[in-house]
């Protein structure tokens, strides 16, 4: 699904944000990206949805390679991904329904198909009764659910979540995390950046830890290393 091969990202002003990072995320996998603020988590996510290109190395996402992707091909990639942010990024002057419908309209879904799909998505995220509410009328957790529903409009193969619980209280955090687990259980890979270590510890998912632009820990590698060697024949 995702393959980072010796990826370095350097910004002209702030310097190296990611240094020689290599990892893969398989189809349907759930992986956490953890690390302190400024460690390089968001840079990795931006490289995945190709908002940024690597300075060196290569990023592959669903068969699209950063080394030869053209600008006009990026929207095609984004339609196969769902992206969720800490600040929800909802349009304040549109209702929950309209925010979700907007993403469908933008990607050229037929007008007739939109209401049913919006209704289904609102039900999936537990907001069937809040479709006509504006973002300001919703709690933080509910706004994030709308954002997740919007991210799911194109049945993505990968959901990218950048600190999705960063602005939420404990209860809302649990609810959003459970929703992401359900989405993952239905086959969508999830790559979630978080600095909520409690959430990470409580779950059984893979953890990739970044610090100062370098991958300092990957639970998948450790698990592979701890596997007993096959018996000698």
Partner 1 sequence: MRLTLREVSLGLKRAPLLSVLSVLTIAFSLFAFGLFGLVALNVSEALKHVEERVEIRAFLADGAPVEAVSTAVGDIAAFPEVAHVDIITPEQALARARKEMGEFQDVFDAAVLPASLEIRLKPGYRDPATVREVAERVKTYSFVDDVRYGEEWVQKLYNIRTIAGATGLVLGIAFAGVAIIIIGSTIRMTVLARAREISIMRLVGATDAFVRRPFLVDGFVKGVVGGLLALALAWVAYRLVDQTLGISSAFFQAGSAALGVLIGGVIGLLGSAMSVGRHLRDV
Retrieve residue 176's tokens. Answer: 């959003």
Angstrom distance (rounded) from CA 13 to CA 223: 38
Residue 8 vs 98, nearer CB to partner 1 = 98
Q: Calculate the CA 185 to chain-centre distance.
A: 15
Retrieve residue 27's tokens. Answer: 């189809």
Q: Is 158 in the site for partner 1 (CB under 8 A)?
A: no
Taking CB under 8 A as the binding criterion, the range among 13-21, 25-33, 97-105, 135-143 that sits at the site for partner 1 is 97-105
* Contact (Cβ atoms closer than 8 angstroms) between residue 38 and residue 15: no
Q: Is 123 in the site for partner 1 (CB under 8 A)?
A: no
Nearest to 98 by CA among 75, 85, 114: 114
Residue 163 vs 218, nearer CB to partner 1 = 163
Residue 91 vs 216, nearer CB to partner 1 = 91
Indicate which single residue of 76, 120, 181, 202 sits in contact with partner 1 (rule: CB under 8 A).
76
DSSP state of 229: P
DSSP bridge pairs for 30? 190
Residue whose pair of structure tokens reads 């196969």 in the numeric block: 80
Indicate which single residue of 5, 154, 203, 211 sits in contact with partner 1 (rule: CB under 8 A).
154
Retrieve residue 189's tokens. Answer: 């890979």
Indicate which single residue of 3, 53, 60, 78 sits in contact with partner 1 (rule: CB under 8 A).
78
Residue 6 vs 76, nearer CB to partner 1 = 76
Binding site for partner 1 (CB under 8 A): 49, 71-72, 75-79, 83, 89, 91, 93, 102-103, 105-107, 150, 153-154
């Amino acid at each position: 699904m995702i393959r980072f091969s010796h990826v370095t990202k350097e910004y002209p002003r702030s310097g190296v944000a990611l240094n020689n990072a290599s990892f893969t995320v398989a189809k349907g996998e759930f992986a956490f990206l953890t690390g302190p603020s400024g460690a390089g988590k968001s840079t990795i996510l931006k490289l995945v949805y190709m908002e940024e290109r690597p300075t060196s190395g290569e990023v592959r996402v669903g068969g699209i390679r950063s080394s030869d992707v053209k600008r006009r091909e990026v929207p095609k990639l984004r339609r196969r991904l769902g992206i969720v942010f800490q600040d929800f990024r909802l349009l304040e002057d549109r209702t929950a329904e309209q925010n979700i419908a907007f993403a469908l309209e933008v990607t050229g879904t037929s007008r007739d198909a939109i209401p049913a799909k919006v209704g289904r998505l609102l039900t999936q995220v537990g907001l069937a009764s809040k479709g006509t509410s504006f973002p300001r009328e919703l709690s933080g957790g509910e706004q994030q659910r709308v954002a997740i529903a919007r991210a799911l409009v194109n049945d993505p193969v990968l959901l990218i979540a950048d600190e999705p619980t960063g602005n939420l209280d404990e209860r809302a955090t649990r609810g959003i995390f459970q929703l992401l687990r359900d989405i993952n259980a239905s086959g969508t890979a999830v790559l979630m950046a978080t600095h909520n270590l409690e959430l990470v510890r409580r779950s059984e998912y893979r953890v990739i830890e970044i610090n100062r632009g370098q991958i300092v820990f990957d639970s998948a590698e450790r698990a592979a290393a701890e596997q007993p060697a096959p018996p000698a024949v």
